Amino acid sequence: MRLYGLKTCDTCRKALKTLPDAEFVDVRSDGVPDAVLSQALADFGDALLNTRSATWRGLDDNQRAKAPLELLKQHPTLMKRPLIEQGGELFLGWTAETRTQLGIS
């Protein structure tokens, strides 16, 4: 299991506490592999972009108009977190639904 997120993100820390065996990948320093990012965008669409983040607010209209994949490659902190990869399947966020899908109560 691999968890993509930010080490400073409270939600990612909660997820890691519950999933201590997960490999943590800090998207700010390590990025997200292109294949994973492409699959996540195909699976989650625009929900993958965190338009409420400080990074998003710092972008001008020209930057916001770019394709989501290009934006996420340039600014990996725009990705909603955490993105969890398990057995080739992706899960987004740390919601009750995600925990249920992962078999965590």
Spatial CA neighbour of 94 closest among 19, 31, 20 = 19
Catalytic residue among 4, 5, 6, 9: 9
Instruction: Give the integer Cα–Cα distance in Å for 72 and 14.
Output: 23
At CA 88, angle to CA 87 and CA 89, rounded to 5? 90
12 included as an active-site residue: no
Q: With beta carbons less than 8 A apart as the criterion, state whether 33 and 61 touch.
A: no
Please identify which residue in the block is written with the tokens 């699959």. Answer: 39
Kindly list the catalytic residues: 9
